Chains A and B, each alone.
Chain A
Amino acid sequence: MSAAVRVRGATKTFPGRGRAAGVTALENIELRVEPGQFVSLIGPSGCGKSTLLRLVADLDRPSAGSIEVFGDPAAKARVKQAYGIAFQQAGLLPWRTVAANIRLPLELHRFPPARRHARVAELLALVGLEDFADRYPDQLSGGMQQRVAIARALAESPELLLMDEPFGALDEMTRERMQGELKRIAGETGAAVVFVTHSIPEAVFLSDKVVVMSPRPGRIVDELPITLGTGSAADDVRESEAFFRQVSAVRELLHGVPGAAPRGVDLR
């Protein structure tokens, strides 16, 4: 079976404007994400995490190297709708209700109305927003908006979920609750997830594998497989000795990156 994501030797250089030099955002990235695997990308601000995610999503093209999603080139995978995506800002359309926002991909891809309706109801239940179907985004809290965005990303049951700091704008309490929910949802749907974050505990809590990146030009410093006791409650996991140990391990990897730690990495 082919990997969910396979990045081979990807380099991304943004051309400079006028006489400014170009920026090499990513250099020679190798990454493999297995089906159903939860992988976090962590690294200092500007190290190219978003760029890497955008390459996988085919929102941008690599300058060199290749990217495959479930065995297809990224461009083909996008056309085939092989992934769902969620951004830092929830990115909901303000003129659409919660239900209509979740329905958007189904509308665009011409699902029959009856199936649309059933699917939206299912997704609303999945993210616990059944009572808010007819609200508009500006009537929701940040956490609720992000849940709508996740439901929208899951609408077509993708095998791969791409998420760029989806909880970045949330307060700590909401954030931990959302992490728990995402973990549950990822488990229930069996989707592979590529998750960009600034928070070490978040990465450790959620992931099967944490990928640590170095600042410009963005390279992968190391990959750390995460093993936490499965089956226990979220709070117990966060209090466990294994959790702290692996948080420290990621932190050390990040500190090992010269000049990385002070810039934008959340060491909480």
Chain B
Amino acid sequence: MTARSLTRVRALLLGLGGIVLVGVAWDLYASFGPDAGVQLGGVLVLPRASATAMPSVGSMFGRLLDPVASGPGSPLLLTAVIQASLVTLGVAALGWVVGIVVGLALALLMQRFRTAESALLPWVILSQTVPLIALAPLVAGLISTARVGGQAPPLWVSVAIIASYLSFFPVSVGALRGLESPERAHVDLLRAYAVGWWPTIVRLRFPASVPYLLSSLRLAAANSVVGAVVAEVAIGMDGGIGRMMLSYAQSSSGDPAKAFGPIFGAIAVGLVSAGVVALLGAALGRYRRAEATA
């Protein structure tokens, strides 16, 4: 085993250890902490440790294997969570892909025309200062007025658009930096070869931007998951993990562990999206050689 893979294993074990530690701390506090919490001058500084407020980690996982509701034919909570996670993952992935396409297109435009950069970049940055909560109903309202074959588009279209709105930003900024990253000698070389703008993009600027793009894609993936979850809630799209989180949290007093199901689902969606980017990074390894050796 090489030193590098050893440090990887070490990092993995430490990471897992950290997670376990948090779980243990949670359980310890839930069992031994005061049920009413700790108050200092009328302010609650430590949370209530009652079973309704802090279900044990074991019961959170155990709950996943029980039916969602008491009625007959109710699916397991795990099944429902997985289903909802897949819905959110799908919408977030769609938003991610659209965000990448839009972000790359903007970056190419800004790289090609200096004036486009001065004209567009402020808007790109400004666009991200609009709070998601304000934006979601606006987008939903606009989309609902659209007609596709005489019908309003389904709600998930709005959710995907909002997810893409959050993911295009890191892509456009990162890609622009990446496209501008080649050294002068490389740019001169392609100019000496008397090739046009597009071959220079394909052979030089795009490959050179891969390390920048990968970190942008990671950010964009996280953004579109958050965007999708929040937009589901804000717009009121059913079936995804966002709505599930909200409705389970409202019924948490009788069944506290249940509310954690969709939270685990959201974490899983985040992990899957990060994993996809990591796989992409591994596949594009040779474009990161400079990064690795520098």
Contact = CB atoms under 8 A, between A and B. Distances in A.
A81 B194 contact: yes
A108 interface: yes
B207 A81 contact: no
A81 B289 CA distance: 30
Interface stretch (B147-155, B163-171, B182-190): B182-190
Interface in A73-122: 78-79, 81, 83, 85, 87-89, 91, 93-95, 104-105, 107-109
B286 interface: yes
Contacts of A136: 286, 289
Interface residues of B, number: 22
Contact of B290 (A94, A108, A109): A94
A59 interface: yes
Contacts of A81: 193-194
Given A81-B194, A105-B193, A138-B290, A95 B183 contact: no
Q: Count chain B CB atoms within 10 A of each CB in A81, A85, A95, A138 and give the residue with the most.
A: A95
A93 B186 contact: yes
Contacts of A108: 190, 193, 195, 199, 203
Contacts of A57: 188, 192
B188 A59 contact: yes
> Taking chain B's interface residues, is the majority helix, strand, or loop, or is none over half, making it mixed?
helix
Interface residues of A, number: 23
Given A59-B191, A81-B194, A87-B185, A95 B287 contact: yes
13 contacts: A81-B194, A87-B185, A87-B188, A87-B189, A89-B183, A93-B207, A94-B289, A95-B289, A95-B290, A104-B203, A105-B193, A136-B289, A138-B290
A59 B190 CA distance: 10
Interface string B188-223: 111111110001000110010010000000000000
Nearest to B291: A94
A85 B188 CA distance: 10
B115 interface: no
Which of B188, B189, B203, B207 has the most chain A CB within a 10 Å cutoff? B189
Interface string B94-136: 0000000000000000000000000000000000000000000
